[in-house]
Structure 1
Amino acid sequence: MDVRGTDMFARYTYAPNRLGYCGPAEAAALRSGTSAEIRAVATRFSGVWPYLRVMSRLTGIEDPLDHRLVESYWLGGGVGAHLDPDDFMAELLAVIGPVAGAYWTHLTPDLSAEAAANHCFHVFGVYPWSRLLGRGMEQHPVSVLDNCRINWGTVVSRDDAGVALRCRSLVWNGRTLELSAPSIQRADVWSDGYSSLPDVAVGDEVGVHWGRLCGRLAPGQVQDLAASTARQLEATNLRLAAAES
């Protein structure tokens, strides 16, 4: 049993689950459960779990919660980056298509052009929010996209209230999505009596999901996350431009 994989799964899914956006209601296992309990909860996530299943099948890594798959899904890079987009999209549609419903009519093989086996593709390609841009009310879709993607930042200070991070935000310039210049943003270390990174310190590079710290990032992980984000923004912007023409 890959404890590192289940731990990372729990840390990156806790915030959206606690906010009620994905997974089963009140999944306490994500904050204090055993690896076995986290595994039982993981199968009830309609977003990340299908990706991990497909990645497991296509890579030959038997355990969907193997750390290599979980890390590749959340941060990009790694084993998932080597999968053929057409093969991956076909397998993913076979899993999520039958349960998507009429609301998700954009889920077709055409998405292979921007498909990737990671969370960034799920946020910008599979979720419908990017398709609401250019309609005059961009603030909410951009906010959701920015919070739902995995962001990264450097801790520049810490006090009793939390940490200050130097990081980049998602912005919409009227035609394309892009990342802003670095700015300082606040994040809580503790929330609801839980912290995934209680000993976070100045100088740490950290991953952030829905405004909550998920864990430290090594330099290579930051590079993978930055590269997968840049790639997805480029692919999504191409789709948005094509929709306007």
Structure 2
Amino acid sequence: MTGVHVAGPALFARYAYPPNELGYCGADDASALLRQATGTVTDQDRSRAQQFDGAWPYLAALARGVGVDDPLDPRVIEAYWLGGPLLDSVNSEQLVAHLRREFGKRNDTGLLSDLDGRDRALAHHSFHVLVVYPWARLLRKHGAVPLSVLQNCRIRWGEVREVGDEYAEVMSSPLVFDGNQLLRGPEAVEPVRWNVDGIPLGPDPVRGTLVALHWDWLCDTISVTQAGALDLAEESALEIVNLRLRAREV
């Protein structure tokens, strides 16, 4: 399962590789990140995570909250990607202030500038995707495109139904937008890649197990508890977005 005997940089790479391969964030050499995901970690690989300027401020905040020196501590990495009780170690108001300082120079930080005492900000990837990225603001005007980005960029979980040489079929709940709310919809099967040239991001998928997905990749095998933690973290971010959608603030 995620975090068991896996070095922090390798665990980070498992989830960071999919958008890096697409050229969305991080350094240019995705093959190095793939090597890092297999557990072959060097000092240079440790510094590579800092180039993910969307994720690093959350890792730094979590490390301070947990009381560890290393933002790549595997407990910190797991909390950022999958959630769990460690998220409660970061004060919501302090996190918002920290993120406004870190991301304040960007042209559009989604709903970040609108947050107030009603909102529970979490140092979790779903918060960044749903609240800080600008896509939620575009749902009503542009529909399918922002919804597709939100769906693919979120970390989601599902159950492996079939495993092929390079791809697996996973039953998972996609995001849907009904015009007023962003919700998890009915389960559907989606094909996801689990290896490139025979090199997997995480453990080989096994039919019937739960796995974590990012973009069109299967990143790791996870437990029922971790899947539940992921849902709770995402629901917290969805609550913030839907509050604004229902009030017609986005």
Same fold (TM over 0.5): yes
Question: Which has the bigger relative contact order, CA under 8 A and spacing at least 6?
Answer: 2
Listed one character per residue, the Cα deviations across residues 18-65 of structure 1 (whole Å, up to 9, x for unaligned) are: 101111212432111424232111111111111111222233211100
> What's the RMSD between the two structures over aligned residues?
2.1
Q: Is the 8 A contact 1:206 1:215 kept in 2?
A: yes
1:9 aligns with 2:9: no
The correspondence of residues 191-202 of structure 1 with structure 2, limited to 5 A, is 191=196, 194-197=199-202, 199-202=204-207
Q: Is the 8 A contact 1:89 1:109 kept in 2?
A: no
Q: Helix, strand or coil: the match of 2:51?
A: coil
1:62 aligns with 2:69: yes
Q: CA deviation at 1:109?
A: 6.4
The correspondence of residues 215-226 of structure 1 with structure 2, limited to 5 A, is 215-226=220-231
Point out the more displaced range, 145-154 or 233-242. Answer: 233-242
Match in the other structure for 1:160: 165
Call closer, same or farther: CA 1:27–1:158 in 2, change over 3 Å: closer
Whole-angstrom CA distance in 2 between matches of 1:58 and 1:233: 23
- Which of 123, 139, 146 is the aligned partner of 1:117? 123
Q: What is the TM-score of this pair, normalised by structure 1?
A: 0.90
Q: CA deviation at 1:159?
A: 2.6
- Which of 117, 138, 143 is the aligned partner of 1:138? 143
Q: Helix, strand or coil: the match of 1:207?
A: strand
Match in the other structure for 1:96: 103
Q: Is the 8 A contact 1:27 1:41 kept in 2?
A: no
Q: Is the 8 A contact 2:110 2:133 kept in 1?
A: no
Q: What percentage of aligned pairs have identical amino acids?
A: 38
Q: CA deviation at 1:152?
A: 0.4
| Aligned length, in residue pairs | 241
Q: CA deviation at 1:12?
A: 0.3
Call closer, same or farther: CA 1:226–1:103 in 2, change over 3 Å: closer
The correspondence of residues 172-211 of structure 1 with structure 2, limited to 5 A, is 172-191=177-196, 194-197=199-202, 199-211=204-216
Whole-angstrom CA distance in 1 between matches of 2:57 and 2:73: 14
Match in the other structure for 1:170: 175
